[in-house]
Amino acid sequence: MEEGTLRVYLVDPDGVETSQVAHSGQPVTLAGEAEAYYDSFRVYFEALDGDAQGVAYVIDYTYP
C-alpha cells in the first residue's frame, strides 16, 4: 500500500475472523484454513483514517 492505513480481514468458512492493520510501506500477511472449502473464505478491506491508496493483494492457495 502506498498511502494510508488499512484493516484486512480474512473470514474462514466457519466464520472465524483474522485481521491485521497495514500501514504505508508495511505489508501484512494473513493465513487461514479452509479444508474442503478452499474457495469459501472471504477477504475484506477497510480503510482507516481516510482513504487508502495503492492497495495491492495476492491470494495463494496451498493444497495438501
pLDDT at residue number 22? 93
Average pLDDT of each block of 10 consecutive residues along the chain (64 residues)?
92 86 90 66 91 88 70
pLDDT at residue number 37? 59
pTM score: 0.75
Grid cell for residue 27: 505489508
How many alpha carbons lie under 13 Å from residue 52 in its C-beta half-sphere? Answer: 19
In angstroms, rounded to a whole number, what is the distance separating the alpha carbons of residues 46 and 63?
29
pLDDT at residue number 51? 92
pLDDT at residue number 13? 79
Of 53, 8, 49, nearest in space to 28 by CA: 8
- 60 domain residue, yes or no: no
Domain, as residue range, for 16: 3-53
- 12 domain residue, yes or no: yes
How many distinct structural domains can be found in the chain?
Answer: 1
- 42 domain residue, yes or no: yes
Grid cell for residue 2: 502506498
- 10 domain residue, yes or no: yes
- 24 domain residue, yes or no: yes
pLDDT at residue number 11? 86
